[in-house]
Structure 1
Amino acid sequence: MQSKRHRHYALVPAAGAGSRMGKEIPKQYLDLLGEPLLRHTLRTLCQAPMIDRVYVVLSVGDPIWNERDWSDLGEKLHPLYVGGATRADSVLNGLRAIRGDAGDGDWILVHDAARPCLAQWHIDALISTLDDDEVGGILAVPVADTLKRSNGHGRVEKTVPRDSLWQAQTPQMFRYIMLRRALETAREVTDEASAIEAAGLHPRLVQGDTTNLKVTYPLDLHLAEWILKNREA
Structure 2
Amino acid sequence: MNSSIATTRFWAVVPAAGVGARMGASQPKQYLRIHHKTILEHTLELLLRLPGLQGLVVLVSPDDDGWRDLPVFSQPRIEVAEGGAERSDSVLNGLRLLRQRLQPSDWVLVHDAARPCVTIDDIEGLLAAVAEHPVGGILGAPVSDTLKRADADRGIRETVDRSALWRALTPQLFRFAPLLQALQDALEQGLVITDEASALEAAGFTPLMVEGRSDNIKITRPEDLLLAELLLRQPERR
Superposition TM-score, scaled by structure 2 size: 0.91
Q: Residue 41 of structure 1: which of 35, 43, 54 is its match?
A: 43
Q: Are 1:25 and 2:23 matched, yes or no?
A: no
Give the C-alpha shift of residue 230 in structure 1: 2.7
Give the C-alpha shift of residue 102 in structure 1: 1.9
For the 8 Å contact 1:6–1:105, the answer to whether it is kept is no
SS of the aligned residue for 1:70 comes to helix
The RMSD of aligned alpha carbons is 1.5
Which residue matches 2:60? Answer: 58
Q: Number of matched residues?
A: 227
1:160-179 map, 5 Å: 160-179=160-179
Aligned structure 1 segments of 4 or more residues deviating by more than 3 angstroms: none
Give the C-alpha shift of residue 93 in structure 1: 0.9
Q: Residue 194 of structure 1: which of 192, 198, 207 is its match?
A: 198
Which residue matches 1:209? Answer: 213
C-alpha offsets along residues 20-77 of structure 1, whole Å, 9 cap, x if unaligned?
Answer: 00011001111111111001110110110022111111112422111222256x3222
Give the C-alpha shift of residue 121 in structure 1: 0.4
SS of the aligned residue for 2:232 comes to helix
Identical columns (%): 45
Superposition TM-score, scaled by structure 1 size: 0.93
Q: Specify every segment of 5 or more residues in structure 1 that has no aligned partner in the other structure, as ranges.
A: none
Which residue matches 2:85? Answer: 85
SS of the aligned residue for 1:186 comes to helix
Which residue matches 1:129? Answer: 129
Q: Specify every segment of 5 or more residues in structure 2 that has no aligned partner in the other structure, as ranges.
A: 1-6
Give the C-alpha shift of residue 231 in structure 1: 3.3
